[in-house]
């Protein structure tokens, strides 16, 4: 195989659409029977197309062919040698070990195979083989355990190359699946449609789609694999860009509601705040990333005063004052005679917003809506003070119905809630502004549904403000939120103490736990964060469940130690967080579910176990759970490894509290995988390659999308028809997300 596929298969002209033959069931292929087809279906492979797009989880590099005398401990390499000796022995029960000695004239290599006695009939003395695996030196001699091997009488499939490792299921062996996929690639890769024009591929120096598939499954070398992944990532990013930009174009063509009449209400709200808005640092006013609350609010107010619907992303670190900015925008909306809605991902976060905004608006004469107090019909038209209400899933049916009815009648001016706000039975009399907090916790279309709540029969579209404390690098924000304008708050309120971050060795765990006890005895609370829920045989990392048992029984037996992780039911998680917020839990053991959480000002210390397993941006998010009170807060990083890259990450976190700076470094070091897994949670399966793409690939896709839409905004030209159909399919997937 040349890159796994004969050159004769590569001369066919490219086709615009996939060949219908790719829809044939895999059972139609030679070597795949009914039972194998049933097993393949468990990993999503039912058609020939699915075989082609079954993406390797990783690769092993067996492309280096060495002589046995050159092998060193830890090498992943291939040798060409002759079988010298074969012996097998029983290990008791059904266990068996087969020992095979290879020799290539420079030395001997010991192979061990377990529970495969039948290999003795194939690895007979004198047979020449290619053998690939990881080298271990035992008693001064090189050895390999369960290596890949093939006879020299056929082209290599399992050895002597970059070897793809595929996701499997019970009953499917790696070598068998690899052969089936290579056969499918050899026979069917040219049946895959090419949606990009030859000119675009030339301009961006991209492989064709069929060639990218060949490079994915049978790369000639590391460069070929990288180019294949770059092409396939480009396709995903281009689709995302085209979809986002067309959404934005459609939005810009619609009429919005002019809220300029509410400018005085905005000014009154700001004047009533018990603190001044932060402003850009002197000398940095021209730098958008250096802005404060004042600059952010100015941008938002300008948008709200236009008859074009706003769609803006407001991001900033925890504690920068996004809620106050959103509150001022809400005041402007209500002052102009329209309603506003704020949606949060959890009930406890919605309750926090309801209480925080309630305090702000009560200073302006607002009252809280009580669904238990039914209004007499004669009072419906009477003058009343502005009202805010909450709407969450745990409310009684009667309370939810009363709140929904008041919203529809225009008797509530601001509603704060969870996904209950977007249920179909909830309508608004005149929704002017929709605010979505921590947007990455919602599906793409969930925030759009709230966005359109005011459109039942209306001719204008409400404005939308999306808030997040998750730092998103500018390059990535342009890629994943192209339909949103960007506003960043970098300035922090004066007097806020930055969290002090310390990096500890594993043997200093006792010191860290003693520090936690000291803080708790002083009346504070603590988080202890772990990378896993439960211990795993495949991942060497600390786990929350085991740690909770140890901490509760041995370290803090006299304290209330809580446990919070993602496998708990939502109601259970809410109850735990409420207890912690109320002070009923002193030490909370948790996983990454606390990345986005509620305000617990009394929590002043966080211990992160296995810190090297988290990205910089995520570690910074964890750290944001503390430092919200007056006490100096501390974040302790406990790392089990001192590798160069992990060390550099943790050192950077210890010296910087700038979330955006850390996110940029995280993107540079780790790629965008975590961001695509979170930011577009409903579309993760659509970003199998973009997760690996360098930031320059995102810029490349953005520029290409701009050129395409500048020339043909509707994607109507025949040349763009295949691409237009892919964008349409992507749009349908987004609507289901």
Are the C-beta atoms of 629 and 601 separated by less than 8 Å?
yes
The pLDDT value given to residue 655: 85
Name the nearest CA neighbour of 598 among 403, 345, 400.
Answer: 345
Q: In terms of DSSP H, where are the helices of 283-321?
A: 293-304
Are the C-beta atoms of 62 and 75 separated by less than 8 Å?
no
User: What is the pairing mode between strands 587-590 and 141-145?
Assistant: unpaired
φ, ψ dihedrals at 713, nearest 5° = -60, -30
What's 461's DSSP letter? B
Name the nearest CA neighbour of 500 among 649, 604, 581.
Answer: 604
Whole-angstrom Cα distance, residue 62 to residue 657? 42
Whole-angstrom Cα distance, residue 298 to residue 300? 6
Q: CA–CA distance from 713 to each of 58, 705, 707 (Å)? A: 38, 10, 10
DSSP codes joined into one string, 311-328: EEEEEE-TTS-HHHHHHH
3-state secondary structure string, 138-166? ECCEEEEECCEEEECCCCCCCCCCEEEEC
The pLDDT value given to residue 253: 82
For the chain, the helix, strand and coil percentages under 3-state DSSP, each to the nearest 5: 45, 20, 35
CB count in 10 Å sphere of residue 457: 6
Instruction: Tell me the β-bridge partners of 343.
Output: 417, 436
Whole-angstrom Cα distance, residue 597 to residue 621? 10
E strands, 317-386, are 339-343, 367-368
Those residues whose C-beta lies under 8 Å from the C-beta of residue 626, and which sit 6 or more positions away, are 499, 527, 603, 604, 605, 606, 633, 634, 635
DSSP codes joined into one string, 224-267: HHHHHHHHHHHHHHHHHHHHHHHHHHHHHHS-B---GGGHHHHH
Whole-angstrom Cα distance, residue 122 to residue 124? 6
Q: CA–CA distance from 317 to each of 12, 282, 321, 603, 637 (Å)? A: 53, 20, 9, 17, 20
DSSP codes joined into one string, 555-612: I-TTS-EEEE-TTS-HHHHHHHHHHHHTTS-SEEEE-GGGSS----TTEEEEEEETGG
Name the nearest CA neighbour of 185 among 206, 170, 164, 160.
Answer: 164
Whole-angstrom Cα distance, residue 608 to residue 629? 20
Are the C-beta atoms of 182 and 4 separated by less than 8 Å?
yes
Q: CA–CA distance from 460 to each of 250, 254, 301, 311 (Å)? A: 13, 7, 18, 14
pLDDT, averaged in runs of 10, over the chain (737 residues): 44 72 92 93 94 91 86 88 93 90 93 93 91 90 91 71 88 91 93 92 94 94 92 90 85 86 97 92 52 94 94 87 96 96 88 92 93 64 83 91 92 91 79 82 50 55 87 66 82 85 90 96 95 65 86 95 88 89 94 75 93 84 85 90 71 83 72 50 59 73 92 91 88 67
CB count in 10 Å sphere of residue 381: 7
Name the nearest CA neighbour of 491 among 666, 325, 616.
Answer: 325
Whole-angstrom Cα distance, residue 129 to residue 82? 6
Burial (CB < 10 A; 0-12, 13-18, 19+), residue 575, is middle
What's 523's DSSP letter? T
Instruction: Tell me the β-bridge partners of 311.
Output: 464
The pLDDT value given to residue 536: 58
The pLDDT value given to residue 444: 46
The pLDDT value given to residue 631: 87
Are the C-beta atoms of 304 and 329 separated by less than 8 Å?
yes
Whole-angstrom Cα distance, residue 228 to residue 247? 29
φ, ψ dihedrals at 50, nearest 5° = -65, -35
- Which pTM does this prediction carry? 0.73
Are the C-beta atoms of 440 and 469 separated by less than 8 Å?
no
CB count in 10 Å sphere of residue 450: 25
The pLDDT value given to residue 282: 63
- Measure the N-to-C terminal CA separation of the chain; round to a whole number of Å: 40
H or E stretch covering 705? helix 695-711
- List, edge to edge, every strand of the sheet that includes 95-103: 136-138, 141-145, 108-114, 95-103, 76-92, 128-134, 148-151
User: What is the pairing mode between strands 525-529 and 58-61?
Assistant: unpaired
Name the nearest CA neighbour of 315 among 468, 439, 440.
Answer: 468
H or E stretch covering 465? strand 463-468
All domains of the chain, ordered by start, with CATH? 64-160 (2.40.50.140), 256-489 (3.40.50.300), 500-656 (3.40.50.300)
The pLDDT value given to residue 443: 47
Q: Give the orientation angle of helix 209-217 with respect to helix 174-188, to 10 degrees.
A: 160
Whole-angstrom Cα distance, residue 116 to residue 338? 74
Query: Both tokens of residue 621?
Result: 């998010």
């Amino acid at each position: 195989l040349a890159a796994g596929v004969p050159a004769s298969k590569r001369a066919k002209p490219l086709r615009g659409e996939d060949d219908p033959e790719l829809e044939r069931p895999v059972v139609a292929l030679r070597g795949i029977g009914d039972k194998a087809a049933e097993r393949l279906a468990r990993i999503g492979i039912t058609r020939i197309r699915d075989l082609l797009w079954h993406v390797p989880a990783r690769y092993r590099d067996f492309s280096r062919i060495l002589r046995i005398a050159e092998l060193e401990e830890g090498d992943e390499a291939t040798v060409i040698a002759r079988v010298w000796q074969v012996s097998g022995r029983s290990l008791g029960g059904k266990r068996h070990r087969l020992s095979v000695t290879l020799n290539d004239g420079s030395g001997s290599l010991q192979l061990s195979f377990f529970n495969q006695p039948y290999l003795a009939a194939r690895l007979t003395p004198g047979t020449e083989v290619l053998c690939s695996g990881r080298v271990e030196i035992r008693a001064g001699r090189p050895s390999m355990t369960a290596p890949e091997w093939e006879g020299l009488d056929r082209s290599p499939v399992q050895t002597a190359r970059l070897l793809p490792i595929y996701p499997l299921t019970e009953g499917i062996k790696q070598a068998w699946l690899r052969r089936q996929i290579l056969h499918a690639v050899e026979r069917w890769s040219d049946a895959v449609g090419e949606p990009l024009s030859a000119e675009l591929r030339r301009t961006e120096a991209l492989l064709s789609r069929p060639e990218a598939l060949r490079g994915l499954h049978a790369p000639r070398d590391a460069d070929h694999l990288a180019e294949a992944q770059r092409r396939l990532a480009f396709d995903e990013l281009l689709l995302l860009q085209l979809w986002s930009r067309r959404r934005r174009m459609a939005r810009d063509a619609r009429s919005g509601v002019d809220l300029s009449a509410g400018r005085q209400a905005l000014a009154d709200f700001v004047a009533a705040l018990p603190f001044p808005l932060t402003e850009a640092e002197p000398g940095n006013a021209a730098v958008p990333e250096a802005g404060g609350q004042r600059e952010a609010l100015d941008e938002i107010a300008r948008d709200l005063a236009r008859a074009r619907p706003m769609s803006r992303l407001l991001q900033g670190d925890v504690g920068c004052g996004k809620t106050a900015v959103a509150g001022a925008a809400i005041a402007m909306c209500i002052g102009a005679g329209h309603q506003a809605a704020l949606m949060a991902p959890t009930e406890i976060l919605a309750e926090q917003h309801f209480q925080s905004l309630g305090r702000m608006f009560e200073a302006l004469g607002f009252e809280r809506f009580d669904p238990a107090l039914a209004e007499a019909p004669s009072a419906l038209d009477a003058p009343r003070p502005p009202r805010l209400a909450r709407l969450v899933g745990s409310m009684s049916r009667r309370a939810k119905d009363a709140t929904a009815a008041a919203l529809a009648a225009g008797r509530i001016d601001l509603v704060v809630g969870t996904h209950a706000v977007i249920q179909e039975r909830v309508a608004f009399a005149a929704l002017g502004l929709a605010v979505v907090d921590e947007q990455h916790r919602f599906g793409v279309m969930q925030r759009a549904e709230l966005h359109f709540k005011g459109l039942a029969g209306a001719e204008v579209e409400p404005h939308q403000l999306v808030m997040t404390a998750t730092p998103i690098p500018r390059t990535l924000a342009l890629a994943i939120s192209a339909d949103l304008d960007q506003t960043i708050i970098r300035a922090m309120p004066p007097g806020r103490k930055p969290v002090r971050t310390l990096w500890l060795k594993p043997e200093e765990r006792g010191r860290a736990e003693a520090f936690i006890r000291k803080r708790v005895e002083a009346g504070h609370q603590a988080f202890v964060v772990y990378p896993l829920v439960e211990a795993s045989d495949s991942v060497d990392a600390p786990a929350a469940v085991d740690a909770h048992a140890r901490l509760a029984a041995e370290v803090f037996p006299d304290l209330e130690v809580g446990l919070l992780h993602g496998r708990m039911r939502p109601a259970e998680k809410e109850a735990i967080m409420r207890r912690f917020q109320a002070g009923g839990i002193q030490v909370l053991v948790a996983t990454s579910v606390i990345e986005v959480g509620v305000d617990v000002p009394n929590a002043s210390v966080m211990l992160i176990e296995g810190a090297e397993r988290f990205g910089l941006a995520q570690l910074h998010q964890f750290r944001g759970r503390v430092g919200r009170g007056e006490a100096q807060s501390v974040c302790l990083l406990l790392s089990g490894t001192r590798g160069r890259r992990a060390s550099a990450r943790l050192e950077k976190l210890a010296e910087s509290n700038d979330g955006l700076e850390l996110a940029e470094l995280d993107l540079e070091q780790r790629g965008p995988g975590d961001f695509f897994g979170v930011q577009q949670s409903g579309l993760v399966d659509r970003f199998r390659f973009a997760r690996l793409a360098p930031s320059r690939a995102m810029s490349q896709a953005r520029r290409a999308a701009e050129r395409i839409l500048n020339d043909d905004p509707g994607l109507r030209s025949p040349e763009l028809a295949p691409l237009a159909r892919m964008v349409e399919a992507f749009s349908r997937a987004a609507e289901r997300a």
